[in-house]
Amino acid sequence: AQTVTQSQPEMSVQEAETVTLSCTYDTSENNYYLFWYKQPPSRQMILVIRQEAYKQQNATENRFSVNFQKAAKSFSLKISDSQLGDTAMYFCAFRSHTGKLIFGQGTTLQVKP
Amino acid sequence: DTGVSQNPRHKITKRGQNVTFRCDPISEHNRLYWYRQTLGQGPEFLTYFQNEAQLEKSRLLSDRFSAERPKGSFSTLEIQRTEQGDSAMYLCASEDTRGHEQYFGPGTRLTVT
């Protein structure tokens, strides 16, 4: 069975600085997708970034980028130039071949002014 | 298109009552997923549909839970004889099968008293 682990329950960063959120996963599949979702307090889940396992190039979306290490089964999210609006809970998710998403426990990120 | 919508947004019910939630996906997405999220945790998969066919159900989906997606459009999730342990946020997501990205609705928060 696939599992997703986020080992940092809470993190904080100063506004304008860079922060990295960690995620590891376990699977026997070779082709799959990984995602980071953001869930602001009392608001809905928003897709931040997507990575396809067959692509070696790390995905980038504006200030968000990932470090995908397939052999190590690691998928970290880097947020550059952190903004107050980045304060949220961040979930790492693995998409199984059947389509369902398996989520980690989440990391609460606080951006401080 | 305004994205995935869910109704109601909040539902308070007494233990033993039946409740039904509705999800309207993004119109061109043929896959629809239901997840359950308890406070401070990542969402857990419940079931999903491709068009009108229900293709996978989690063991979390006891026989008190039933989901339908008539005509492959909106979906309903019904919980019969609610229990306090059913209190959670119920999330719906629809998927763009080209990119395998799931987009979430705002959720229905269920409180069973």
- Peptide bond before residue B8 is cis, with ω within 30 degrees of 0: yes
Chain B residues touching A47 at Cβ < 8 A: 101-103
pLDDT at B1: 53
Contact (CB<8Å) B48/A99:
yes
pLDDT at B79: 97
pLDDT at A97: 87
Q: Identify which of B33, B42, B107 has the shortest CB distance to residue A100.
A: B33
Q: What is the pLDDT of residues A60-96, one digit of tens each?
A: 999 999 999 999 999 999 999 999 999 999 999 999 8
- Percentage of residues in chain B having pLDDT higher than 70: 99
Q: Identify which of B45, B101, B107 has the shortest CB distance to residue A44.
A: B107
Burial state string for B46-65 with b = 16 or more CB within 10 A and e = fewer than 16: bbbbbeeebebebeebeeeb
pLDDT over 90 (residue B72) = no
- Backbone angles phi and psi of A39, in degrees to 5: -130, 95
Average pLDDT over residues A48-67: 94
Give the whole-angstrom CA distance, residue A113 versus residue A102: 33
Average pLDDT over residues A32-57: 93
Mapped onto helix, strand or coil, the DSSP state of residue A106 is coil
pLDDT at B31: 94
Contact (CB<8Å) A45/B91:
yes
Q: What is the pLDDT of residues A2-23, one digit of tens each?
A: 899 999 999 999 999 999 999 9
Average pLDDT over residues B56-76: 92
pLDDT at A4: 97
pLDDT over 90 (residue A37) = yes
Q: SS3 letters for chain B? A: CCCCEEECCEEEECCCCCEEEEEECCCCCCEEEEEEECCCCCCEEEEEEECCEEEEECCCCCCCEEEECHHHCCEEEEECCCCHHHCEEEEEEEEECCCCEEEECCCEEEEEC
Contact (CB<8Å) B44/A105:
no
* Higher per-residue confidence, A43 vs A112: A112
CA angle centred on B34, ends A58 and A92, rounded to 5°: 25
Asked if A32 is an interface residue toward chain B (Cβ–Cβ < 8 A), one would say: no
Q: What is the pLDDT of residues B38-55, one digit of tens each?
A: 998 999 999 999 999 999
Give the whole-angstrom CA distance, residue B72 versus residue B80: 23
